[in-house]
Structure formats: structure tokens, C-alpha cells
Amino acid sequence: MKRRTPNTERRTSNTEWRGPLVRVNEANSGYAAPEKTKYDLEDRLLEFAVALVELTDDLPNTRSGNHIAGQLLRCGTSPYGHHGEVESAESRKDFIHKLKVCLKELRETRRGSGWYRGLRR
């Protein structure tokens, strides 16, 4: 009996995928495919971390400002690192777990930014 290999053991990079097999001759059909928006999560997480560092630099140099800045820096810059762990997940369950940790840190950052808005008032 042949054992089926799960997809997690047969990784295929996105560069190997060539798109749909059916091609539309756009010049003659009058149809132009919409531009695809690129959602590169790694780049977006890096930009988010950089923006967060800049935001925390603007917080007041007070005891509460420093406390909130430290917490925001820890939880707001860690999703970028966690995303690297997501890419090296060993199984589907591991992938989901690591992605949930990344999301948890982002939610904590959103909560923490509420503290920042409260300080500015």
C-alpha cells in the first residue's frame, strides 16, 4: 500500500507556481485582468515595527510614557520575528500555532496603543 505524503512534506515555493493554465488573449478580448495587489506580510510587519519604533520615540519621557513605550516596543516588534518562525513551521498545526502567536502580539499592540491615545488627551 502506497503512503500518501501530506502537503507539508512537499513544499512548493510561490515562485514555482505559474498561475492558471487558461490564458486570455487580452488584446483581442477587450478584457484586461485587474492589477493584483501584493500583500507581502513580512514587508508589512517590518514597516509596522519601524513605525512603532518611531511612535514610541515620540512618547513623553515620563514614568508612564517609558513603561508604555517599552511594552509597545516588545509586543509591536515581535510579530516580525514570529513571522520568521511561521515560515519554518514543521507541520500545519505548528504553522497555525505560530501564526496565532504573531496575531496575539499584534492584538496586544493594538490594546497598548489605546494607552498611548489615553496619554495624549
Chain segment 20-68, per-residue pLDDT in tens = 444 445 555 555 555 656 668 889 999 999 999 999 998 899 998 899 8
User: What pLDDT shows up at residue 112?
Assistant: 78
What's the full length of the chain, in residues?
121
Q: Which amino acid is at 31?
A: Y
User: What pLDDT shows up at residue 102?
Assistant: 92
Residues 112, 72 contacting (CB under 8 angstroms): yes
Band (pLDDT 50/70/90 cuts) for residue 98 is very high
Model pTM above 0.75: no
Band (pLDDT 50/70/90 cuts) for residue 80 is very high
